[in-house]
Amino acid sequence: MSNDDEPAPLDPIELRLQAKAGRRSAGRLGSLVHKSTRLMWQAGPRKSIVLTCIQVINAALLAAQVVVVERLVSVVIDLSSGATMRDLLLPLVAFAVLTAITTVIGSVQTQIGRLLAESVARLMWRSVSGVAAAVTLRHFEAPDFYDLLQRVQSNATRPFQVTQALLRILGGLTATVGVGAVLFAIHPILVPLLAVGGLPLILTNRAESRLEFKFAVDQTTNQRERAYLTFLLTGRVEAKEIRAFDLGGQFADRLDRRHDEYITAMHAHVRHRLRLNLVGNLLSAILLSCTMIIVAWFIADGQIDVSQASAAIVAIRMLQGQLQTLLGGVQTIFESGLFLDDVELFLRLGAEAERDEDGAQPPSEFETITVDNLGFRYPGSTQHALRNVNMHIRSGSLVALVGENGSGKTTLAKILAGLYDCEEGAVRWDGVDTREFSRKAIRSRVAVIFQDFARYAFTARENIATGDGAHPINDDRVVAAARSAGADGFLSRLPKQYHTILSRLFRGGRDLSGGQWQRVAIARAYYRDAPLVILDEPTASLDARAEHDLFASLRAVLKGRTAIFVSHRFSTVRTADLIVVLHAGQIVESGSHDELMARGGRYAELFRLQAAAYLADVDEN
């Protein structure tokens, strides 16, 4: 996907239709089985082998049980004509041993299956979370992306179900072949009759799978809304406001309504599924009963004896069970296959993320950054957030972006940080368009902290060291960055100093004030050894002294690095080498504080407005 395009449509129904058009059912089943087996093998080769062997042994034991039943019935019949109770002992013991072994093997199989399932789920999560963390920010503007992510997350156990189903199919198949062979030996015609009995189930099972997937797709948005409302009602940050504005009841009602809609839809869905299930099983049972009638007719006709008939009935019962298992397995794979398509579609987004690494390496330092006629619209938006933006930033300078709310400061910061590509125009580092560089490498040359920076429930040192996740934590650099950001004092006083978890979510954790958090975030930016530092409203939560200290020491801390900061506080802005004034996505003025004041334009107006507010207070006192 080109980065200037809208995110690709992620419509799963469309995807399903494409998949359907492209492949026939048998081929599709083959490809699903292939993918799932590979996944299972990658997750646990030894466990996969053990489970496969167990299935085969189990199936052989089932076939042996049928033979033993035939022997048992034959001895029972012969009891009146000379056979003794001793003759009965051997088949009885064999039957008991076989039953016991099958039961024990069943439990072993379940437990190993659990372990393998966890490994498969971990493998899936690793890929999914890797892609979620790497896709471009554009995806996070698209509701389709969130819908897909939701389905991928809530179906993380699907590969496990597929692997379980695979094993069930394997077991079912082997047992069907084994027991089928015994049945064939009793009378060949019984086998095809049984196969016909399974046909209605195959058809209705497929229809049920499609129904299930359609239901899941239809309900994704509802499910996300419910997840969001639950998050609001249980979130720590939201807890204050929910109580202050008494929103709990209102949100709970909203959640209830969404739930009602979901349950109503589910009722209809369940009714539909049950109808299909009933039809399939009824037809199958009728056909199987016909088989029983034929067995009775064979006895009457003298084609088989009573012991063979008993064994045939046991075999038919067993085969019925195995056939159910087999078809259930196929159904699970088809059903999960539709969800796995979603996963595949999602993982394909990772390929685009990998292309972020393509391109030349940017220089480790730069002399100038030039912004040429930059234009940008957010995905799905018709309005330009930035238009005709031109800037020239010299290495080592301090640049301030100012302007009213919504004027485009943060958007410009995001583009300069390499988080979005520009739609029109270009950003150049020493004359080279940044799109020629690896985006990942560009991002590694920028240390950026946004207004809504992340507050990780990790230790203080980890919170700072996330500024450079590519290298092991260097504690000396952590402390140095914290000192430069004015965070060392309060972090050192925490119960476990820099090793204290900065959250109440975990035992022993401590939370910080808004301003203290902001200093930790600034330390995160300082920790990164990048030639360009971008700070989006770095002092919004700082007290007057902290703000003064931060800017007074900024140049010394930067040690010649270039810094761009967004601020609404003109007292700090005036220290910048270059002040860029944005209005409605365009640069309306730029220059030093003195130049802009002399010009008497928008900057001077905003500056005087703020200064007057302070002076008015001073005058009043």
Ligand X SMILES: Nc1ncnc2c1ncn2[C@@H]1O[C@H](COP(=O)(O)OP(=O)(O)OP(=O)(O)O)[C@@H](O)[C@H]1O
- List residues near ligand X by CB under 6 A: 141, 378, 381, 385, 403, 405-411
Query: Whole-number minimum distance, CB 401 to ligand X, in Å?
Result: 8
CB 91 within 8 A of CB 75: yes
Query: Whole-number minimum distance, CB 375 to ligand X, in Å?
Result: 12
- Report the candidate in 445, 396, 443, 416 with the shortest Cα–Cα distance to residue 561: 396
Q: Output 36 or 407, the one with its CB closest to ligand X.
A: 407
Q: Output 264 or 381, the one with its CB closest to ligand X.
A: 381
Residue keyed to tokens 């979130």: 235
CB atoms within 10 A of CB 20: 13
Q: Output 224 or 409, the one with its CB closest to ligand X.
A: 409
Q: Output 40 or 402, the one with its CB closest to ligand X.
A: 402
Query: Whole-number minimum distance, CB 571 to ligand X, in Å?
Result: 17
H-helix or E-strand containing 565? strand 562-566
Alpha-carbon torsion, ordered 110, 112, 118, 123, to 10 deg: -130
Q: Output 409 or 439, the one with its CB closest to ligand X.
A: 409
Query: Whole-number minimum distance, CB 565 to ligand X, in Å?
Result: 12
CA distances from 260 to 150, 270, 484 (A): 20, 15, 54
Q: What would the 3-class secondary structure string for 386-415 be?
A: EEEEEEEEECCCEEEEEECCCCCHHHHHHH
Query: Whole-number minimum distance, CB 535 to ligand X, in Å?
Result: 13
d(CA 33, CA 94) in angstroms, rounded, equals 36
Q: Output 280 or 403, the one with its CB closest to ligand X.
A: 403
Please enumerate in sequence order all residues whose Cβ is within 8 A of that of 446, keeping only pairs 6 or more positions apart, or say none.
Answer: 416, 417, 418, 530, 532, 533, 534
Q: Output 179 or 580, the one with its CB closest to ligand X.
A: 580
- Report the candidate in 347, 338, 344, 335 with the shortest Cα–Cα distance to residue 16: 338
Q: Output 117 or 401, the one with its CB closest to ligand X.
A: 401
CB 294 within 8 A of CB 193: yes
Q: Output 15 or 402, the one with its CB closest to ligand X.
A: 402
Query: Whole-number minimum distance, CB 53 to ligand X, in Å?
Result: 54
CA 290 distance to own-chain centroid: 49
Please enumerate in sequence order all residues whose Cβ is within 8 A of that of 522, keeping only pairs 6 or more positions apart, or say none.
Answer: 449, 485, 487, 535, 538, 550
Query: Whole-number minimum distance, CB 141 to ligand X, in Å?
Result: 5
Query: Whole-number minimum distance, CB 503 to ligand X, in Å?
Result: 26
d(CA 491, CA 473) in angstroms, rounded, equals 17
- Compute φ and ψ for 245, nearest 5 degrees: -100, 5
Q: Output 365 or 424, the one with its CB closest to ligand X.
A: 424
Query: Whole-number minimum distance, CB 379 to ligand X, in Å?
Result: 7
Query: Whole-number minimum distance, CB 405 to ligand X, in Å?
Result: 3
Q: Where are the alpha helices (DSSP H) in 380-485?
A: 409-416, 439-444, 460-465, 475-484
Q: Got the DSSP string for 216-244? A: HHHTHHHHHHHHHHHHHHH-HHHHHHHHH
